[in-house]
Structures are given as C-alpha cells and as structure tokens.
Amino acid sequence: MRVVVLAAGYGTRLHRELEAERRAELRALHGTPKALLPVGAHPLLSRWMGLLGGCVADVCVVVSGRAPEGRTLHLLSQFLCRFSIRHQTNELHRRRFDDWARSFPGVRVVSDGTTTDKGRLGAVGSLHFAISHFGIADDVLVIGGDTLLTQDFCLPDFLQTFCDLQATSAPASLVLSYQCAEEETSKYGILEVDEDGRAVSMKEKPSASATTSRRACPCLYLLSRAAISLLPTFLEEKKSAPLETKDAPGFFLSWLIARSPVYVYEVSGRFDVGNVASYLECHSYFQNKEL
C-alpha cells in the first residue's frame, strides 16, 4: 500500500485572512503552506507522519509553494532509507520544507512548472501526477493535507476494514464519513449510503433540502488499485471542463461510485483547515497532544 498526501493547494482564502489578521502571531503565518502550519506543538503534516509511522512505510507528499515572484514548487517525497534532495524552487519554501524534512528520510523537491493558482493541477491532478511520477500500481491511501481527524480515529482498524473488504470484493475502496450538522451540508461532499454501507452517490456541497443524508466525507480515501486505474479515464473525460468542476477529490469520488464499489467507514469528526476560524479550532484541539 502507498500513501499520497495532497498538500498542493494555495490556501488562498486562509492566507487572505491571515494577511488581514490583527493578531501578530497569526499574521506571521501568512505564506506558510497549510501542511506546515503549527497544530499544537507540531506541523500538521508531522501529525500525519506520527499516525502513519507504525502502519505504512511508503509515503508520497505533493505540496506547492509560491514565492513573492509567483514561482511554484512541488514536493514529492517517499520516506525510504536515504535522504536526498533535488530542487528547482524558491528559497523561501525550500527552507521551510527542508527544515521539516530533516526529521524524515527520502525527501525530493521538484517543480511542476506552474506559476499561478489558476494554473494549478488541482487535487485530482496532483494525485495522478504523484501516481504517474512514482509508477504506483497499488492500493493508495489518499490524505488531504489540510485535514486532521479527532484522536479517536484508529488507523489500524481502518486499514483492517479495507483488507476485509478486499477479501470479498477486490475492486472495493473505503472512505470516511461523519455526521455533520444540517447547515453544514453545503460546505462538504455528502455521501448517500445503502443499508450495506456502500456509497450510492456523493453530492458536492448540496443544499440541506437536496439530500436527506448528513454524511460528510473528508479526504481520507483508501482507493483500490482498480479505482486508481480509473484516474486517467476521469481526467480524460474532464479535460475540457473548468478546473473548479474537477479539482476537489470529491469530484473523482462521486464519479467513481458509479463505476466501482465504494464503502463507508464511520468516524466521529475531522478538522478542515480552510480559514482562520477552522485553523484555530484545530490548533486548540491539538494544543497539548503529542504525536
């Protein structure tokens, strides 16, 4: 199994709010990639590494950073036995990721050549980019780099549930779901699920009246190799569509549900670092929690 952490977004809304912050300690975070924002005593990305460390040994992180002149970098990393860096990026973000990477071996920094938020690959494009770059032909745990889960989430049980599914249906994928408030349905992807726990549809940010489901679906997907093999088909079908209609990983998941079995794993909640308020909520929750 491989792990791909999607951390290539520009965080436009969050950084616009941070730039306008009156509190100096928050304003100082402006320009920091979401995956490296301090959450409690550790960067958000390091919290994922702490969670993954005992369960998986092969992780790829896709991130981007924009220097004042607008250049962009992509960090693609596999945590193997050696530490090596190749770079073509701005010094501001290179220093930040180099500092973080000293705790983890096997980090490589490369640029995808994009220069603006408008030219970004999008989350689905970044996933395909990482899979193609590393020649991945395996099941993939996909993690949104601006997302954390409450500490009662049990990764070994999630992985075991996926293995049990695979024993009866090899193409099956497994995704997370938690109950959101009615007024929050328009913020998230909402899953509709049958009595066997299989997703039958996913609506992207629907109104509360458009569905009776309140099953929000955060970006933590365990995609089977069969599902991963369909990524090029999705991107080919959507190649002429505006990026905003194919960017979010939920768009691929919604498309996938009609073509390959997807089952649901219940969790109690998650944190989505999208603005200052949600960042502070996440930071407060993890304030005294170690990796």
The pTM of the full predicted model, rounded to 2 decimals, is: 0.85
What are the backbone dihedrals phi and psi of residue 247, each rounded to the nearest 5 degrees, phi first?
A: -70, -60
Strands 173-179 and 262-266: what pairing?
A: parallel
Contacts of 16 (CB under 8 A, 6+ apart): none
**Inter-axis angle of helices 249-257 and 122-134, to 10 degrees?**
80
Return the structure tokens found at 257.
Answer: 């549900």
* 276: amino acid identity, one letter: V
pLDDT per residue as tens digits for the range 36-72: 999 999 999 889 988 887 676 577 777 664 433 333 2
In eight-state DSSP terms, residue 281 is: H
Cα separation, 176 vs 274, whole angstroms: 19
- Can you give the length of the chain in residues? 291
pLDDT of 175 reads 98
Question: Which residues sit opposite 109 in a β-bridge?
Answer: 75
* Domains delineated in the chain: 1-121+129-145+272-291 (no CATH), 154-267 (3.90.550.10)
Backbone angles phi, psi at 42, to 5 degrees: -135, 150
Instruction: Output DSSP code: residue 243.
Output: G
What is the per-residue pLDDT across 94-140, written as a single tens digit (0 to 9) for each? 567 677 777 777 544 443 545 556 667 788 988 888 888 888 899 99
